[in-house]
Structure 1
Amino acid sequence: MLTLLTAMYLVVRSASAQAEPIRVLVTGAAGQIAYSLLFSIAKGDVFGKDQPIILVLLDIPPMLPVLDGVVMELQDCALPLLREVIPTDKVEVGFKNLDAAILVGSMPRKEGMERKDLLKANVAIFKSQGAALEKYAKKTVKVLVVGNPANTNCLIASKSAPSIPKENFSCLTRLDHNRASAQVAMRVGVSTGDVKNVIIWGNHSSTQYPDVNHALINLDGEEVCAYDAVKDDSWLKGNFITTVQQRGAEVIKARKLSSAMSAAKAICDHMRDIWFGTSDGEFVSMGVYSTGNSYGVPDDLMYSFPVMIKNKSWKVVDGLSINDFSRAKMDATAAELIEERDTALAFLGV
């Protein structure tokens, strides 16, 4: 038995040694989300247990001393898959030859700052990061935008990298998806693993629409639609929706800091699904580029849809029935995204 186990270990170790490292960028790398995220990436939870990683950590110059401490901790973890850690404040280093880019860093909203002020500051940041992707990254790079307002930041980054397919860009609504799944699971008294196919439509903002009309819950080995399992339509159309929409604000109120651990987990879930695909019969929520062909959502928006993923390519799940309640919610969040997009493009003089 020991001989067999030793042989299996050597095979796995050999495969790991032979695989080419992939180059993964995390921006805002000295921040609290990254602090919860980097360990999971480096130990293989995202890109695979046999995939060596080169981690590129980008942040602004004042954060470089903090970043040095993060690098030391990653080194001290002694993670076999982590081949190199590159801390930098230079885009030509940070964006070079990337396989994956996780754009966490953004200008945070400060007291007294209106949403349009936040948007103006971040438009400039994500225009420059999109331009850096265009100039330095691989054209196959998979880009996940986390920094808020994530949907519009993602759109601006994609427009600033015209030679990279828009399908390669996505923004994070998986945290909202996970929140919705957890709320339903707690309500029914099951594990979150027993809940699938909730949907987050639209913007990662308070207008997002968490939809469980197509969600399924495993009850004693039988899949039951969420409405039948919950048996409380008023909750599903009321407090459930507002709880998911306002969850980030509630976390800030309680912690005095924004979501970090749960955001990092959602980033891992999102990127792992891009890399390895979704399970048969399951879909997840991602902010992706709308071409105007799905569910009446206008084109040229980064809008959260239900998607299935295979071979690192996503496809919107089409043909789901949309009732009048859902239609109104979906249209409202699309209207907000249109306003954000037009405001952002005006700031850029487009």
Structure 2
Amino acid sequence: MAKFVLAGKTDCPHYAKAELLADRLQRSLPNFRIQKISILPHEWKEWLDATCKRNGWKHEQSPMVWRELVDHGGKGILLGDFSDFLEHCQDYYNITSDMSTDIMLSVAAENLETKMNLIAEEQHRVSLIKPLHIWISSALSSTCHFLIPYLLSAEVFPHVSAISLHLLDLEGNMEELQWLRMETEDLALRLLHQVTIHTDLEQAFREADVIVLLDEGWSEDSDRGNEEEVKKKTVKGISDRYREYGQLIDTMANKDVKVIVSGDSFVNLRCSLLLDNVHSIDSHQFVTVATQLENEAKAIVAKKLKVRTSDITNVIVWGNISGSFYIDLQRAKVFNYDGAIKGPAFFSQPAKSILQGRKWLETDFQDLVRCQRAAVTSKTCQAAAMTVTNGMLAVLKAWNGVCSPDEVFSMGVLCPGYYNLPDGIVLSIPVTFTDGRWSVLCDVTVGDELKERLQLYASELRQEKELGSENCTMVINKVDS
């Protein structure tokens, strides 16, 4: 089979003549195939230079014709311009062209008009698409690689027809981001409209509908000498970055944007800093995710009771998600437990009544949850990306209305007026979702001991914020005294 490629400027008369000659050959010869590439006049030189460089050819004018080696593989063989193509057709197929100059010019003008109409139609079609804009920071992290395939799905966004994904990594390599973009496009996900990559804040969070802020690589750049100095430098870096993020979100994102802060370091602090710098967006649109801690606690309880992790529900995480926290089982239920009392699949029992040992719940259990993630990280030598991803997806599904109104989630949110907590502090508390909006779960017991814990967690977070301010030394001394 003979396969030729004909490329030229849309308004080129010789391209028009070669095109009609090729059509004639294709009608006459069953094994002749032609591919046409019509290039707009202002794009022709750049396209020609790139094509010649890629194939090692030399060619200067329109059109350009080459033969593809369909049966033998390898790169194509350059035939030349219109004259070379005409000569080839005369010699091999005894077919020529006698088109007049006037007809050539008429066809060339028609080609240009048709091309411009097609471009206008495509632009109009694209303008009708209203994609959901999702931004992900630290896009080169392992968590992002797990997140992308599941994030761009109708299961997470059931009422969305298209998604534009924006990958941001300020410390990232542009070439690595290019590969990530290519890999994402190769997934051929139905909802994916386009992927853009960014290594600076020039366009950050523009038109954002959903923002996922993953862990930044703070510790890698920090001096590992004095622990207090390391923490101070880390918090200062976070404070500077997230104040800027907050200002950008306030001015660039859509006003109903959903912002999720996730990761293993200073999660509550990062969310709090965003809220300090956002003035035009409802604070209910900013959350941190404690679902990973919930699931890790469920896994420990499930192992002790010899049930599946999914058989444990409604675990509550109070406090600082990446700092001091408390796992509360007051509403936790256990399904399919092989005990003295049994029932059908929908039958459950209170976890605390089965786990009767209060000492274990208050000591060993809390310590096991704190060590669980560190143990996974040490064994795999990387962050627990799968569980972080699973936690974020669970919250996003609930936020988009894909959950039961009775399901309890632990999320870090701004808590003024709840449980006598101070203003400006983001703490993990239990919430439920109804019609895509979360509300604080009030049907929980908050005794004196838990209230005291919450005040300590709030104090810890206040000190973290103060550590990042310019007068941190004076503030810390005041708190210590």
1:279-315: CA deviation from partner (whole Å, max 9, x where unpaired) = 1322110000011x22222221111010011233211
- Would the aligned equivalents of 1:106 and 1:125 in 2 still touch at CA under 8 Å? no
User: Which SS does the other structure have where 2:468 is aligned?
Assistant: helix
1:327 partnered with 2:462: no
TM-score by length of 1: 0.87
Distance 1:277 1:299, change over 3 A: farther
Deviation at residue 88 of structure 1 after TM alignment: 1.2
Structure 2 CA distance for aligned equivalents of residues 347 and 283 of structure 1: 40
Deviation at residue 347 of structure 1 after TM alignment: 6.3
Q: Choose the corresponding residue for 1:270, options 375, 389, 395.
A: 395
Larger radius of gyration between Structure 1 and Structure 2: 2
Query: How big is the alpha-carbon RMSD for the aligned residues of Structure 1 and Structure 2?
Result: 2.3
**Equivalence for 2:306:** 189
Q: Which moved more, 1:186-195 or 1:325-334?
A: 325-334
Structure 1 CA distance for aligned equivalents of residues 172 and 420 of structure 2: 45
Q: Which amino acid aligns with 2:367?
A: T
Structure 2 CA distance for aligned equivalents of residues 37 and 208 of structure 1: 26
1:214 partnered with 2:331: yes
1:80-130: CA deviation from partner (whole Å, max 9, x where unpaired) = 111111111232423110100001142432444533322111111111111
User: Which SS does the other structure have where 2:203 is aligned?
Assistant: helix
Q: Which moved more, 1:55-64 or 1:150-159?
A: 55-64
Structure 1 CA distance for aligned equivalents of residues 277 and 285 of structure 2: 13
Structure 1 CA distance for aligned equivalents of residues 277 and 249 of structure 2: 8
Structure 2, unaligned runs of 5 or more: 1-127, 337-342, 476-481
**Identity across the alignment (%):** 26
Structure 2 CA distance for aligned equivalents of residues 206 and 62 of structure 1: 27
Q: Which moved more, 1:266-275 or 1:219-228?
A: 219-228
Q: Choose the corresponding residue for 1:300, options 412, 424, 434.
A: 424
Deviation at residue 324 of structure 1 after TM alignment: 4.3
Q: Which moved more, 1:248-257 or 1:198-207?
A: 248-257
User: Which SS does the other structure have where 1:228 is aligned?
Assistant: helix
Q: Choose the corresponding residue for 1:79, options 189, 192, 206.
A: 189
Q: Choose the corresponding residue for 1:145, options 261, 266, 273.
A: 261
Q: Which has the higher contact order (CA 8 A, sep 6+)?
A: 1
**Equivalence for 2:68:** none
Q: Which amino acid aligns with 1:322?
A: V
- Would the aligned equivalents of 1:107 and 1:121 in 2 still touch at CA under 8 Å? no
Q: Which moved more, 1:235-244 or 1:57-66?
A: 57-66
**Equivalence for 1:68:** 178
1:1-350 mapped onto 2 (5 Å cutoff): 20-48=130-158, 51-60=161-170, 62-110=172-220, 111-112=224-225, 114-147=230-263, 148-219=265-336, 220=343, 221-276=346-401, 278-291=403-416, 293-346=417-470
**Equivalence for 1:13:** none
- Would the aligned equivalents of 1:43 and 1:49 in 2 still touch at CA under 8 Å? no
- Would the aligned equivalents of 1:43 and 1:81 in 2 still touch at CA under 8 Å? yes
- What is the total number of aligned residue pairs between the two structures? 332
Deviation at residue 168 of structure 1 after TM alignment: 0.8
Structure 2 CA distance for aligned equivalents of residues 253 and 61 of structure 1: 24
Deviation at residue 335 of structure 1 after TM alignment: 2.1
